[in-house]
């Protein structure tokens, strides 16, 4: 969250930890630990976690956890292209922030990377919305 909040390219974009607790729509938001779907529509998965032994006898494990996030851009307009383009611009800014600090300030051997995403577009009565749920993988040794 702090990395995205500090990224100059995301200035003015709301960064939220988990789902919103308010009914007020935000025009541009990045969710961390939530897929950005409407309440009750998503499966609510925030993190997927996996561990395996790093080697025999060293009592260390390699851990990978994948954090579900989302970029959501909404407008009262019905124009699709500008909303979709803005959503992908915000996603690119997220990727740039991750590449600029792939350790997230954590000790080595932690590495963080964007791994996947999908675009969902909808035109409800309130205007166009583009939602890009994406996943960030964090690999480290514990």
pLDDT (tens digit, 9 = 90+) per residue, 1-19?
A: 888 999 999 998 988 888 7
Q: What is the mean pLDDT of the chain?
A: 87
Structural domain for 65, as ranges: 2-141
SS (H, E, C) 57-95: CCCCEEEEEEEEEEEEEECCCCCHHHHHHHHHHHHHHHH
Considering the entire predicted model, what is its pTM?
0.82
C-alpha to C-alpha distance for 127 and 121, rounded to whole angstroms = 11
Q: Which residue has the higher pLDDT, 11 or 23?
A: 11
Number of domains within the chain: 1
- What percent of the chain stands above pLDDT 70? 91
3 state DSSP class of 12: coil
Could you tell me the CATH number of the domain that includes residue 17?
3.30.70
| DSSP code for 8 | G
Task: Specify the residue for token string 């939220």.
Answer: 16
């Amino acid at each position: 969250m702090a990395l995205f909040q500090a990224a100059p390219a995301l200035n003015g974009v709301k960064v939220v930890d988990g789902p919103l607790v308010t009914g007020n729509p935000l025009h541009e938001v990045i969710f961390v630990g939530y897929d950005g779907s409407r309440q009750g529509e998503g499966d609510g998965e925030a993190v997927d976690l996996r561990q395996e032994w790093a080697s025999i006898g060293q009592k260390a494990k390699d851990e990978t956890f994948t954090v579900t996030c989302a970029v959501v851009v909404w407008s009262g307009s019905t124009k699709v292209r500008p909303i979709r383009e803005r959503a992908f611009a915000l996603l690119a800014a997220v990727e740039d922030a991750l590449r600029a600090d792939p350790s997230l300030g954590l000790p080595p051997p932690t590495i963080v990377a964007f791994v996947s995403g999908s675009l969902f577009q909808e035109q409800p009565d309130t205007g166009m919305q583009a939602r890009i749920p994406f996943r960030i993988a964090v690999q480290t040794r514990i």
